Amino acid sequence: MGRLRFNKEAGIKWLLTLFALSSLLFLFIIFAFILAEGLPLFLKVGVTKIITGTKWAPTKGYFGIFPMIVSSFLVTFGALCFGASLALGCATYLSEYAGRRTKLFLKPALELLAGIPSVVYGFLGVIYIVPLIREYLGGPGFSMLATSVVLGIMILPTIISISFDALMSVPAGYREGSLAMGATKWQTVYRVVLPAARSGILASFILGMGRAIGETMAVIMVAGNALKIPTSLLDPLRTLTSNIALELAYATGDHRSALFSTGVVLLVIIMALNLIANFWVRKRVPK
């Protein structure tokens, strides 16, 4: 009987291990496929010419994606500037100030934002945000500013949810000890709770950044899709993801390989950002 139970437990363990490793297998297959499709162009044209090139005209032999790399980073940074502070403030209110009834209503409502399709965000951006920018700030309206605002709204649910969980995981003794020493509620939140939850908060920023840099449909609708490096918030731009989505349907030959090369660069950027962020988290987590 005991041996049968041991074999059953071992079988369940190996089955769950297989399920866990399957996610790594899917990641490897995706990366291998994109690399196999994009690597030939890197070998043919050169990594430097593709990454640092400023002209994108695949049918004429120009495969520079540097403007799109810069644009992707700019809109991601803009989205974080707009959405991160707002989301962190909302998470702080929910965890430290909101009552039980408010939490039951507000938190699910905020998380519901994550279920809205990205095309809806893009549509609202075209209808409301773009005309406002065009009328009051000038320019075509389809711009880095419009893209940053839309993406900043889209990353709110991710940052709020994870930051809220991180703040709620801070032991109650931290708050009680601070209040017992005479600190105010805000001093306790600012000096004790937020620093104690900083690793989880940073993780929420990383995931929000991944959502922003990987977004496609909403960006296509409000960015303007200009193949140049934006010099102001009102300039149109094109990101790496929108470049792939716009041209893959009709691309052939080296043009198609160039789009897969763009995907390789995007994957490498995301992996590098995650490695840097994980190192930053480990370095600052208190021993």
φ and ψ at residue 210, rounded to 5 degrees: -65, -35
Residues 121 and 244 in one domain: yes
* CATH code for position 86: 1.10.3720.10
pTM for the model: 0.86
* Residue 76 and residue 127 share a domain: yes
Phi and psi angles of residue 133, each rounded to the nearest 5 degrees, phi first: -65, -40
**Is residue 69 included in any domain, yes or no?**
yes
Instruction: Give the residue with greater pLDDT, 149 vs 108.
Output: 149
Residue 26 lies in a domain: yes
Q: Count the domains in the chain.
A: 2
Give residues with Cβ within 8 angstroms of 228, minimum separation 6.
Answer: 67, 235, 237
pLDDT, one tens digit per residue, over 191-201 is: 999 998 888 88
Using pLDDT thresholds of 50, 70 and 90, give the confidence band for residue 286: very low
> Are 9 and 98 found together in one domain?
no
- Pair 16, 60 in one domain: no
Q: Which tops the pLDDT comparison, 76 or 24?
A: 76
pLDDT at 70: 93
If one counts every other C-beta atom within 10 angstroms of the C-beta of residue 1, the result is: 5
Residues 36 and 79 occupy one common structural domain: no
State whether 97 and 128 are in the same domain. yes
Q: What is the pLDDT of residue 17?
A: 84
Mean pLDDT over the full length of the chain: 87
The residue ranges of DSSP E strands in 49-149, in sequence order, are 56-57, 62-63
For residue 29, pLDDT beyond 70: yes
Q: Is the dihedral of CA 50, 56, 59, 60 positive or negative?
A: negative
The helices-and-strands tally (H runs, E runs) of the chain is 15, 2
> How confident is the model over 58-67, as a mean pLDDT?
90
Q: What is the pLDDT of residues 132-181, one digit of tens each?
A: 999 999 888 999 999 999 999 999 998 998 899 889 988 888 898 988 88
Q: 32 and 122: one domain?
A: no
**Binning pLDDT at 50, 70 and 90, where does residue 287 land?**
very low
**DSSP string computed for 164-226:** HHHHHTS-HHHHHHHHHTT--HHHHIIIIIHHHTHHHHHHHHHHHHHHHHH--HHHHHHHB--
Any domain includes 155: yes
Q: Is residue 49 part of a domain?
A: no
Residue 128's pLDDT is 94
Classify residue 50: in a domain, yes or no: no
Q: At which residue do the structure tokens 């495969």 appear?
A: 63
Kindly state whether residues 178 and 37 are assigned to the same domain.
Answer: no
Does residue 48 sit within a domain?
A: no
CB atoms within 10 A of CB 107: 18
Q: Which of 75, 268, 225 is nearest to 153 (CA)?
A: 75
Q: Let me know the angle formed at the C-alpha of 278 by 282 and 285, rounded to the nearest 5 degrees.
A: 25
Is residue 17 a part of any domain in this protein? yes
| Close Cβ partners of 186 (under 8 Å, ≥ 6 residues apart) | none
Question: What confidence score (pLDDT) does residue 251 get?
Answer: 86
Number of other CB atoms surrounding residue 60 within 10 Å: 8
Domain region containing 215: 56-284
Give the bridge partners for 227, in sequence order.
Answer: none
Residue 255 domain flag? yes
Confidence band, pLDDT 50/70/90 cuts, at residue 283: low
pLDDT of 285 strictly over 60: no
Read off the pLDDT of each residue in 54-83 and give the average, rounded to a whole number: 91
Q: What is the pLDDT of residue 101?
A: 84
| Residue range 232-236: mean pLDDT, rounded | 93
Residue 50's contacts (CB-CB under 8 Å, 6 or more residues apart) are: 41, 42, 63, 64, 65, 258, 261, 265
**Domain check: are 194 and 255 in the same one?**
yes
How confident is the model over 234-261, as a mean pLDDT?
A: 90
207-227 pLDDT, tens per residue? 888 888 888 889 999 999 888
Both 135 and 99 in one domain: the answer is yes
Query: How many residues in the chain?
Result: 287
93 & 147 share domain? yes
Q: What are phi and psi of 232, to 5 degrees?
A: -150, 170
Q: CB-hemisphere CA count at 13 Å for 153?
A: 19
Answer yes or no: do 37 and 71 share one domain: no
Written as six digits, the tokens of 280 are 């930053």
User: What is the structure's pLDDT at 269?
Assistant: 84
